[in-house]
């Protein structure tokens, strides 16, 4: 975090240096393209209120472009709008509208290529294929932007904020909706994604692959087509995020595929088809989370091992845990389960009877999904009671030996 804060201080200081060029209809300089060609390193360009249709403008100088009363840069449904390359460039207070679409190229309202120390702040982007597309860049900030897509199909939508091959980035306090993926990262390392709201996107609220040593803090992922997907990464830390109402046949709060040596702490998984779906993942600490009103709180596939689930609270989920195997190589400890019917004779707050969170019905549904039609039927309740009395089908070693009597204080 310290390098990012240092960058922010540097960018804020540079606003007061250099000359100022004002663009307006009744001024000597009345186009952005003209102002950019005139500007020198360190200058500030003020874009006055109005609508400007000038095609794709390239900024490769260390200048600061600031909108006054939210001017509109309009791509006229044909062009990318602004391309940045170089160092120490900032863009603030501008409305980017109607960027072009291409089935062959990743057209974006704002594209950043081979850049360092870039600040993108307090902008609005509407009706764009990709909102902000960043490639091969470092030490930059994307903050307090509103990005609203057209909510078309997956193939006709780009990503709201797209990062490829970047490091030491800060993506903070943005609101993204109506895109394919709200935030997409590939080969992104040592970056922080915090306090963003990603909702009502066609596919994922957040999607990242091959992105190591990243931290995700305080984000909200709501009502997205398939939730959040985390793939082929290690040393990931996800804390204090909300995964809410990600419903669908193949939806989940978060998918963990081939993730290792990571931490998922203090998150809330509310009303998702599956809270966490895990496949091929190892050495993950999943603790102090809330799982409430999900279809399945956890689906832990047999390919997962050496994961620890501790001090989580499970409330009102149709199924607390499901798995597709009988050999379980993961640990559950000190979780609160609202379905637990044990007792606490010594009053130490820990149940005296171990809890097996996989019900017989969960095993049956995993093997025969059509049996979901029997949910909450008398026969299902009877079978689950019989399984608890004489275990036979459920994984014997998938057990919380120290279940909590009262919810954990999170």
Q: What's the pLDDT at 383?
A: 64
Give the alpha-carbon dihedral of 187, 190, 195, 199, to 10 degrees.
Answer: 10
In this prediction the pTM is: 0.89
CB atoms within 10 A of CB 174: 28
The angle at the Cα of 171, spanning 78 to 108, to the nearest 5 degrees, equals: 10
Element (H, E) at 363: helix 360-367
| Domains delineated in the chain | 2-389 (2.160.20.10)
- Taking the C-alpha atoms of residue 305 and residue 288, their distance in angstroms, rounded to an integer, is 20
133 in Cβ contact with 185 (< 8 Å): no
Closest by alpha carbon to 175, among 158, 203, 198, 195?
Answer: 198
Q: What whole-number distance in Å separates Cα of residue 344 and Cα of residue 137?
A: 56
One-letter-per-residue 3-state SS of 136-180: CCECCEEECCEEECCCCCHHHCCCCEEEEEEECCEEECCEEECCC
Could you write out the DSSP letters of every residue in 248-263?
STT--SEEEEEEEEEE
**Bridge partners (DSSP) listed for residue 220:** 197, 242
- Would strands 313-315 and 282-287 be described as parallel, antiparallel, or unpaired? unpaired
Determine the pLDDT at residue 248: 85
- Give the per-residue pLDDT at 361: 66
- Neighbouring CB atoms inside 10 A of 27's CB total 12
Question: How high is the pLDDT of residue 360?
Answer: 59
Q: Which residue has the tokens 């995700």?
A: 216
pLDDT given at position 48: 94
Per-residue model confidence (pLDDT) at position 410: 85
pLDDT given at position 15: 42
The rounded distance, in Å, linking the Cα atoms of 302 and 329 is 8
d(C-alpha 258, C-alpha 51), whole Å: 47
Q: What is the DSSP string of 37-69?
A: HH--TT-EEEE-SSEE----EEE-SS-EEEESS
Q: Is 364 helix (H, G, I), strand (E, B) or coil?
A: helix
* pLDDT by 10s per residue, the chain, length 410: 445 444 444 444 344 457 999 887 777 888 999 999 999 999 999 999 999 999 999 999 999 999 999 999 999 998 899 999 999 999 999 999 999 987 778 899 999 999 999 999 999 999 999 999 999 999 999 999 999 998 777 778 899 999 999 999 999 999 999 999 999 999 999 999 999 999 999 999 999 999 999 999 999 999 999 999 999 999 999 999 999 999 888 899 999 999 999 999 999 999 999 999 999 999 999 999 999 999 999 999 989 999 999 999 999 999 999 988 777 789 999 999 999 989 999 999 999 999 988 875 666 666 666 766 566 666 666 665 655 555 555 667 789 999 999 999 98
Rounded CA separation 287/307 (Å)? 10
Neighbours of 301 (CB within 10 A): 16
User: What is the rounded CA–CA span in Å between residue 172 and residue 184?
Assistant: 14
**CA 174 – CA 146 distance, rounded (Å):** 6
Asked if residues 383 and 393 have their Cβ atoms less than 8 Å apart, the reply is no
Dihedrals phi, psi of 402, to nearest 5 degrees = -130, 65
Return the SS3 of 128.
coil
Rounded distance between C-alpha atoms, residue 120 and residue 297, angstroms: 37
């Amino acid at each position: 975090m310290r390098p990012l804060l240092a960058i922010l201080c540097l960018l804020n200081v540079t606003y007061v240096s250099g000359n100022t060029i004002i663009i307006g209809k009744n001024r000597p300089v009345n186009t952005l393209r003209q102002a950019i060609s005139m500007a020198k390193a360190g200058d500030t360009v003020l874009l006055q209120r109005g609508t400007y249709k000038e095609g794709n403008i390239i900024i490769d100088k260390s200048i600061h472009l600031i909108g006054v009363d939210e001017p509109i840069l309009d791509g006229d449904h044909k062009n990318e709008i602004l391309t940045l390359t170089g160092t120490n460039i900032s863009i603030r207070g501008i409305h980017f509208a109607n960027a072009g679409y291409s089935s062959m190229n990743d057209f974006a309202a704002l594209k950043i290529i081979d850049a360092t120390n870039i600040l993108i702040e307090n902008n609005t982007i509407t009706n764009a294929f990709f909102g902000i597309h960043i490639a091969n860049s470092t030490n930059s900030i994307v903050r307090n932007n509103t990005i609203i897509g057209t909510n078309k199909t997956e193939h006709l939508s780009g990503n709201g904020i797209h990062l490829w091959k970047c490091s030491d980035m800060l993506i903070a306090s943005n609101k993204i909706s109506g895109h394919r993926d709200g935030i997409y990262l590939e080969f992104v390392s040592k970056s922080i994604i915090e306090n963003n709201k990603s909702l009502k996107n066609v596919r994922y609220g957040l999607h990242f692959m091959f992105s190591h040593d990243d931290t995700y803090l305080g984000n909200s992922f709501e009502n997205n087509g398939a939730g959040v997907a985390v793939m082929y990464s290690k040393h990931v830390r996800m804390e204090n995020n909300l995964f809410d109402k990600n419903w669908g046949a193949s939806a989940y709060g978060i998918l963990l595929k081939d993730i290792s040596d990571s931490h998922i702490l203090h998150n809330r998984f509310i009303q998702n088809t599956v809270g966490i779906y895990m496949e091929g993942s190892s050495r993950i600490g999943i603790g102090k989370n809330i799982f409430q009103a999900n279809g399945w709180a956890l689906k832990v596939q047999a390919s997962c091992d050496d994961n620890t689930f501790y001090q989580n609270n499970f409330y009102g989920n149709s199924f607390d845990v499901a798995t597709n195997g009988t050999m379980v190589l993961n640990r559950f400890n000190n979780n609160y389960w609202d379905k637990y019917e044990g007792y606490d004779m010594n009053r130490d707050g820990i149940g005296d009877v171990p809890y097996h969170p996989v019900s017989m019905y969960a095993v049956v549904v995993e093997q025969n999904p059509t049996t979901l039609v029997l949910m909450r039927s008398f026969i299902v309740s009877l079978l689950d009671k019989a399984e608890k009395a004489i275990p036979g089908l459920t994984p014997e070693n998938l057990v919380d030996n120290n279940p909590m009597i009262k919810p954990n204080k999170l």
